[in-house]
Chain A
Amino acid sequence: MMAAPDMRVERWTRRAQGFVVSLLLLALVLAFGPLLFSAGITDRLSELFVYVMLAVTWNLLAGYGGLVSVGQQAFFGLGAYLAVRLSAAGVSVYPALLLAGLMTGALALAIGEVMLRLEGGEFAIGMWVVAELAHLLVNLDPLVQGETGTSLIALDAFSAAARRADTYWAAFAAMVLLLVLVFAVLRGRLGTALQAIRDDEIAAASLGVRVLATKRVVFMLAAGGAALAGALWLATAITFQPHAYFSVQWTAYMIFMTLVGGLGTFEGPVIGAVLFFTVEWLFGASGVWYLIGLGAAALGFALFAPRGLWGAFTERFPERLLPLGYHVVGARAAAAAGGGEER
């Protein structure tokens, strides 16, 4: 009856461990980026890191929590705005970026208190309203001067080369930190509870899951991550014009990257971000046709590969490179040995 001695629950495979080692090597190379790459490449990679952060946070919310938001630009914009504000108040510029992310995460606790009581489409559209509201409120700040905007003037104190390298390192560190944090959250108790809520909220509650508290944690984490991404984007762009940051296009990018890469998989959004970044790099200058191409690609994936590139890949090769789940080894044998039913 009891579990046979050879039954165990596996979380890492040898192949996954090998993959993590190669990821660490890649991270080691990327850590020396500004010393290895040209100025142009360094700048583009900083932007890629921001894209990865955006895709990963949106996927955390929608793919694992079932919280589909079209208003994540609220946090992207607030992160950039608070970074400008903190810098103007005398906080040195790079710590201000991190602080802006943390403060927006805290602010999301209050926003979530209202928004997380909404469900499905109401939550999605409600978040867009929050973003528009945040945009309007930020425009009222005399420092921002409405749509005229302002700049992260403190960055002028650095030479262009130093600024490029520091921003790269800040973005790289933030991305790695966020990826590790999200991975740890999803692999832990919170991750299983979150997926249960996504699949059936009523069933989750009836099994003792603290539904609202769980949603609150991931909402804050996703908001803080998007805000940090916004603050870092400000560091690459320097100018802050509210409409450029509070634009719904940011959430559209997040959705595109996540859907193409694979909603509800850890690896998918990272792949989606790299893909989107490459496409933008190659075709971004083609104007309208570029946008039409993006739209057509998103539509194609939604229709023919709803689980994205990584989802389609794992259907054929079930092994995960960064496994979040659990695999019971020897269950069939144990059931047979214990006289369990085999039907």
Chain B
Amino acid sequence: MARAESVLRADGLEKRFGALVVLDAVDFTVGCREAVGIVGPNGAGKTTLLNVLSGRNTPERGQILFAGEDVTGLDVAARCRLGIARSHQIPRPFGGMTVFENLLVAAEAGAGLRGPAATRRALETLALCGMLPRANRRAETLGLLDRKRLELARALATEPVLLLLDEIGAGLTDAEAQILVEIIAAIRAQGIAIVWIEHIVHVLVKVVGRLVCMDAGRVIADGAPDAVLRDAAVIDAYLGQAAHAASHG
């Protein structure tokens, strides 16, 4: 892929927690408007990769370019204002505020909008995510699906160029996950690049055009979803386990 076409380019990322190497020389690129899925066994370093890309964790080594700009030294908030938004695996709603106010924070702080423009952004995003009927609810009263939707909507209200999703489908039923898939497909149709970590592979491949498989802090496969899922290393490290687990209920 040509350099000019990539929205995000990470080279040689290394992250350690004490003696444990969680990311080991990871190169990772996301093209403009591209949707990439990340799979891999637990402990492969998927969430850490997302944390390093979003700025929550600082890598020991490596460089992250976003839209051609070096963002390696910027904190989470600064990267969000540039256009990298993320959702958390366990939703983190602002419980004391209403759903609308949750999105307003994102539109004001993340997208830098003010007054009516911020209000409009919040309302349009609520509509896209099917959350208008919940607009005036205090976020702490929401159930799991709505918390996940809020997490997604809030990230989207920051007007991101790149959206990082961390297991947003985890804990949902298939029907509930389908609702999220439709929203994420709509987000993708707007031209927003997406990096999505998910264990539910059949949900993931409905949206992403490329799949990356990680194991023990390394990228072991990267390419079209079909090819990656047929890759021997992937089957050995990840899908074999999954198939094994599935066959035993």
Residues of A at under 8 Å CB distance from B?
1-3, 7, 9, 189, 192-193, 195-196, 198-200, 202-211, 264, 325-328, 331-332, 334-335, 338, 340-342
By a CB distance below 8 angstroms, the chain B residues around A189 are: 108-109, 114
Question: Does any Cβ of A come within 8 Å of B28's Cβ?
Answer: no
Of B56, B76, B97, B136, which is within 8 A of A328 by CB?
B136
Please state if B96 and A195 are interface contacts (CB–CB under 8 Å).
Answer: yes
Please state if B110 and A332 are interface contacts (CB–CB under 8 Å).
Answer: no
Question: Does any Cβ of A come within 8 Å of B92's Cβ?
Answer: yes
B154 nearest CB across to chain A (Å): 6
Closest chain A residue, CB of each to CB of B104? A192
Please state if B123 and A208 are interface contacts (CB–CB under 8 Å).
Answer: no
* Distance A56 CA – B235 CA, assembled complex (angstroms): 61
B: interface residue count bin: 35 or more
* Distance A202 CA – B96 CA, assembled complex (angstroms): 15
Q: Label chain B's interface by main secondary structure.
A: helix
Offer 23 A-B interface pairs, CB within 8 angstroms, sorted by A.
A1-B128, A2-B127, A3-B120, A3-B124, A193-B105, A193-B109, A195-B101, A196-B102, A196-B109, A199-B97, A200-B92, A200-B94, A206-B54, A207-B154, A208-B106, A210-B109, A325-B97, A328-B100, A334-B127, A335-B132, A338-B132, A340-B133, A341-B130
Closest chain A residue, CB of each to CB of B83? A208
Please state if A326 and B130 are interface contacts (CB–CB under 8 Å).
Answer: no
Please state if B110 and A208 are interface contacts (CB–CB under 8 Å).
Answer: yes
Please state if B179 and A341 are interface contacts (CB–CB under 8 Å).
Answer: yes
Identify the interface centre among A1, A192, A200, A211: most chain B CB within 10 Å of its CB.
A192
Q: Which 3 A-B pairs have the closest CB atoms?
A: A208-B110, A203-B92, A335-B132
B173 nearest CB across to chain A (Å): 13
Please state if B100 and A326 are interface contacts (CB–CB under 8 Å).
Answer: yes
* Distance A205 CA – B127 CA, assembled complex (angstroms): 24
Please state if A196 and B110 are interface contacts (CB–CB under 8 Å).
Answer: no
* Distance A340 CA – B132 CA, assembled complex (angstroms): 8
Closest chain A residue, CB of each to CB of B81? A208
Q: Mark B42-66, 1 if CB is under 8 A from A, else 0.
A: 0000000000001010000000000
* Distance A3 CA – B155 CA, assembled complex (angstroms): 19
Closest chain B residue, CB of each to CB of A66? B96
* Distance A328 CA – B98 CA, assembled complex (angstroms): 10
A295 nearest CB across to chain B (Å): 27
